[in-house]
Amino acid sequence: MEEMYCCGCGGEAQGAEGYTCADCGAYVCRGCGKSGLCPHCYGRLLPFH
């Protein structure tokens, strides 16, 4: 079964559409990551590769 990377809002954070948090490792969708900060810990977001 393929693992899905989901944002806390329920949106998909996979491929070029999302980010990962450098600090807590959370997956964040593009909409929630617009500020560049993780909605969970306010760490720096990195583009998901």
3-state SS string over 10-25? CCECCHHHEEEECCCC
- Residue 1: its pLDDT value, please? 42
- Residue 49: its pLDDT value, please? 63
Q: How wide is the angle at C-alpha 30 spanned by C-alphas 47 and 9, nearest 5°?
A: 120
The whole domain housing 28 covers 1-49
Q: Which residues contact 37 (CB under 8 A, 6 or more apart)?
A: 43, 44, 45
1-49 pLDDT, tens digit per residue, is: 445 567 778 776 555 678 999 999 988 888 899 999 998 899 999 987 6
- Residue 23: its pLDDT value, please? 94
Count of domains in the chain? 1
